[in-house]
């Protein structure tokens, strides 16, 4: 893996029994651009404010991609345009923009956006190296109005996601969102839609197979990379490529 990550707690005084940190920062080295990202986490605020293993695995892959992955990141209209779903701390989207010199829209629920924007601002120097630009937007999965707003004048080349399959009540809204951005409101008509959804996922529960079963009704889903298990896990993070069914043979 080409990315190094180390946790550094902010502040920290000499107290006997310190409470759990309310804020910590992780440094992530991107070797291909010889730069380091710093990502603020707020663990006491919930799961949207923590770094998840799939995010680190996807960034490592983008930092040192095999041809099968790098060939996906080809712009159809000049600048590469990416959309990330459920960005959390923003690590994946910020790293993708910095590594690929891309325009990236990172998205999440409204209460997550201030920390996302904080992390975008904190990494301005790394983003500037290749001209990457990141903006944060509110996108609750399945919210048609928000999806249309984001889709107004942009067509995305690639959609990204890491660790977005976990609660089963979110499977349908996530698939609706993928149908909107990859198929065009689910019917495949209208203007050209993003070619591919690249999703990093660490399998935790059997129930997750229901997500893949539902997704395969609309998309061809292939595992394109699997990491070795780490930290005592039985499985490693897998990166999946989703494409609309009729494009599956060509991609
Ligand atoms: C497990 S976290 C993963 C965060 C980040 N992608 C990572 O890998 O570090 C799942 C993310 O999905 C977001 N999320 C959950 N439900 C959502 C919804 N209905 N619409 C949009 N985002 C949602 C959460 O706020 C959270 O940031």
CA-closest residue to ligand 1 atom 25:
48
Q: How confident is the model at residue 250 (pLDDT cuts 50, 70, 90)?
A: very low
Q: Is residue 6 part of a domain?
A: no
Q: Is residue 13 part of a domain?
A: no
Q: How confident is the model at residue 17 (pLDDT cuts 50, 70, 90)?
A: very low
Q: Is residue 133 part of a domain?
A: yes
Q: From ligand 1's centre to the CA of 249, what distance in Å?
A: 30
Q: Is residue 40 part of a domain?
A: no
Q: Which atom of ligand 1 is nearest to the CA of 49?
A: 27
Q: Is residue 197 part of a domain?
A: yes
Using CB distances shorter than 6 Å, the residues near ligand 1 are 47-48, 51-52, 54-55, 86-89, 91, 108-109, 112, 139-141, 162-164, 166, 170, 173
Distance of alpha carbon 212 from alpha carbon 98, whole angstroms: 30
Q: Is residue 14 part of a domain?
A: no
CA-CA-CA-CA torsion for 203, 209, 211, 216, nearest 10 degrees?
A: 120
CATH number of the structural domain spanning residue 103? 3.40.50.150
Q: Total domain count for the chain?
A: 1
Span 182-223, pLDDT tens digits: 988 544 444 555 689 999 999 988 899 999 999 999 999 999
- Both tokens assigned to 112: 């997550």
Q: How confident is the model at residue 152 (pLDDT cuts 50, 70, 90)?
A: low
Q: Which domain does 201 fall in, by range?
A: 49-247
CA-closest residue to ligand 1 atom 11:
86
Q: Is residue 24 part of a domain?
A: no
Compute the radius of gyration of the chain from its Cα atoms. Answer: 18
């Amino acid at each position: 893996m080409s990315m190094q990550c180390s946790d550094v707690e902010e502040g920290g005084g000499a107290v006997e029994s310190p409470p759990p940190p309310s804020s910590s920062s992780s440094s992530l080295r991107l070797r291909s651009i010889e730069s380091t990202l710093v990502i603020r986490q707020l663990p006491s605020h919930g799961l949207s404010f923590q770094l998840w293993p799939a995010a680190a695995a996807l960034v490592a892959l983008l930092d040192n991609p095999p041809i099968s992955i790098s060939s996906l990141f080809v712009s159809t209209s000049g600048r590469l345009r990416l959309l990330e779903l459920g960005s959390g701390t923003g690590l994946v989207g910020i790293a993708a923009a910095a590594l690929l010199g891309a325009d990236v829209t990172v998205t999440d629920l409204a209460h997550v956006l201030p920390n996302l924007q904080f992390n975008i601002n904190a990494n301005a120097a790394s983003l500037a190296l290749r001209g990457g630009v990141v903006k944060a937007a509110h996108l609750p999965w399945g919210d048609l109005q928000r999806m249309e707003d984001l889709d107004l004048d942009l067509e995305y080349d690639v959609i990204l996601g890491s660790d977005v399959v976990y609660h089963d009540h979110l499977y349908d809204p996530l698939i609706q969102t993928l149908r909107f951005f990859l198929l065009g409101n689910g019917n495949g008509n209208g203007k050209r839609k993003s070619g591919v959804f690249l999703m990093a996922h660490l399998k935790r529960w059997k129930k997750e197979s229901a997500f893949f079963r539902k997704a395969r009704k609309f998309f061809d889903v292939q595992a394109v990379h699997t990491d070795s298990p780490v930290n005592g896990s039985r499985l490693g993070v897998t990166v999946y490529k989703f494409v609309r069914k009729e494009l599956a043979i060509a991609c």
